[in-house]
Amino acid sequence: MPAVAPSAHKDAPALLAPAKVNLHLGIHPGRDERGYHRADSIMIPLELGNGLAIERAEAPEAVFEPALSIPAEKSVVYRAVDAFERTFTPGCSWRASVTRLTPGSAGLGSSSADAGAVLRELARIADVPSDDKRLVAIAQSLGADVAFFLQGSPALLGGVGDVLERTFPHVSMEIALVKPEVGVSTVEAYRAFDEHPVEPADPSDLAAALDAGDIPAIAAHLANNLAPAAIELAPEVGECLAWLRAQDGVLGAQVTGSGSCSFAICATASDAERIAAASPWWARATRTI
């Protein structure tokens, strides 16, 4: 069994569970026998995220501040802690404490980001390689995006968005996020997509731009064929996106995930900060990690 960090680890500073944006999201029409769509997703992590702390505990535990609307024991974070203990550290339990700083139902990762960061930190503590097949299987069982947050680099995922196909070099980009008050249910977004399916774009040009670190080309090839469904469900999403695209200093903008948050790649940090300050909706200036 891998070595386990001593209980003194509880004194370690809080960690970041990074949010993400989808530079590319391509949902393929039709569902498989499990009811899932095939998906191509290129995601990149942000400096924005939730706070996270891990410590030893008598039993698996997840704590949220502010509290969730569901019992913590039903959260993806709790399931991540419980599955990790059963697989890698039997008899040695952990508590994951999450400080919720980013909005939910926004397409920024939310609970998947928290669960992936928890698994990544527990793996570091217990000296488990991040590509251990058992660890990856846990991530995939928790949700499509968790495998991305487990490894934390810009990446292309296939399958149903849960299979890591390749990673990309880090590209530092200034980002403005804008989100209306309304959220978008992922389930409802996929239902709306099925009523009016749109073929996905080819991610090859975006992948080449990421490999080259060509930020204008990255911005020019942003794509999300789930965005029309999100806008149909919440027209405010379309208003945010149109407003972002009209701002000076924006190289490209798109809805992230199933919404409701949109993001803009900006020419400079001051552009991102100015846009966030001017937004009539929830907004933040951040950058890619």
pLDDT at 4: 37
pLDDT at 7: 34
Domain harbouring 39, CATH code: 3.30.230.10
pLDDT at 144: 85
Cα(79)–Cα(98) distance, integer angstroms = 14
User: Active-site residue among 20, 40, 82, 271?
Assistant: 20
Q: Is the same domain home to 129 and 74?
A: yes
pLDDT at 6: 32
pLDDT at 3: 34
pLDDT at 59: 97
- pTM reported for the whole predicted model: 0.91
179 is catalytic: no
- Averages of pLDDT over each 10 residues, the chain, 289 residues: 35 76 97 91 97 96 96 97 98 96 93 96 96 96 92 93 93 98 94 96 98 98 98 98 98 97 98 98 97
pLDDT at 1: 32
74 is catalytic: no
User: Active-site residue among 40, 82, 114, 145?
Assistant: 145
Domain harbouring 194, CATH code: 3.30.70.890
Residue 119 near residue 139 (C-beta atoms within 8 A): yes
Instruction: Provide the domain count of the chain.
Output: 2
Domain boundary among 167, 193, 223: 167
Q: In what order do the strands lie in the sheet with 250-255?
A: 250-255, 262-266, 174-179, 282-287
